[in-house]
Every structure is written in C-alpha cells, then in structure tokens.
A = this chain, B = another copy of it.
Amino acid sequence: MAGLGKKVLIVYAHQEPKSFNGSLKDVAVAELGRQGCSITVSDLYAMDFEPRATRNDITGTLSNPETFSYGVEVYEAYKKAALSSDIVQEQKKVQEADLVIFQFPLYWFSVPAVLKGWMDRVLCQGFAFDLPGFYDDGFLKGKSAILSLTTGGTAEMYSKTGVSGDFRYFLWPLQGRTGTCWRGAGAPGQGSVPLCLPFDG
C-alpha cells in the first residue's frame, strides 16, 4: 500500500474509452487504487470541457470592461473567487492532488486543444503561480506531475537523427507548463518525468 492516502488526479484527453490512452488511464486507476491511492479522473471530452479562454471565465463585472485582458481579469477573478465554476472545480481537484497525471495522444507535437484549454484556463495566475512565485517557487511545488503520452510516429522518428527531431524538444514547452507550477521542476527541460510510448491511439 505504497500510495496509502495519496490523492491522484488524472487529466485524460481521449475521445474513445477503448483506445490505448483509455487503457493506460484504466490501468493507472486500477494499479494506483491497488496501492491505496484515491483517484479522480477529469475525462475532458466526456465533460465537454471548454478550451476557449473567454470573458465567460469571469463571473460578475470585469476589472476593466473597456479593454478585455484575459490574464488580468482571470487573476483578479481568482483573488475575489469570481472564476467560472468549471475552472474552480478543476482547481479544487489539482489542489487536493499529490500527483497529477496528464494522459493524452500527441497532437501536432503537443497536447490536444481540449487539454491545452485545461492548462490555459485552470493553471491561472494566483492559483498555479504568481510573479514572484514561479518555477521553483510555483504554487503547486508540493505536488508531482507525469506526462503520459502516446505518439503516431515511431521512437526512431523522434530521435536526434530522426525525421521529426529529438522528442525532448517537443516536451520542452510541456515541461515548461508543469515546471512553472510543479515540484522542484526548475526551468523548462528540467521538469517532470515524461513517460513516452511510441504507439498511437
């Protein structure tokens, strides 16, 4: 029971439960449960999670209704508890989690848009980081994160001499995202432990 009492959030972005991504998620739920963890899954497609960062993310009046600045408004809304309920719910899940696993297929060398939208909207200033309060001082620094992804290409294609180039370069911005907020992650390229699987689906 290595994980006894530990809380895990799986942010899962695949349309098909019977996919390889779906199986990886299911195996993680089963195995982590066996180890005594409690697990929450955010199944983004099933939730029809909103990826667009818009004025709707702020309830009530805007700080500056004349010129809309998403970053400014969301930061202010976070401080006065005026973010939309779907963002608040995801932030609560992240806050409670000891470990967050991102489970997704690589779309155009990055996360699918639905997961990018989760990152854009949930990991807002004030909640996940502040200035100061980022990289090694990010607000999620007590937590761990894993990028668990599948690819359409082979491992060879993503090697230094492969046609797509070194896979680590694709992971850099993703690690930047997690590294800004998560545990001891430092700058991009130094953060998290990606689990890369050369299979599609």
Contacts and interface: CB of A to CB of B under 8 A. Distances in A.
Contact of A176 (B48, B49, B108, B177): B108
Contacts of A201: 69
A177 B116 CA distance: 15
A53 B176 contact: no
A187 interface: yes
Interface in A101-126: 107-114, 116-117, 119-121, 123
B16 A68 contact: yes
Total copies of the chain:
2
Interface in A122-159: 123, 135, 152
A173 interface: yes
Contact of A120 (B52, B107, B187): B107
A151 to B, nearest CB: 12
A71 interface: yes
A67 to B, nearest CB: 5
Interface stretch (A32-40, A87-95, A163-171): A163-171
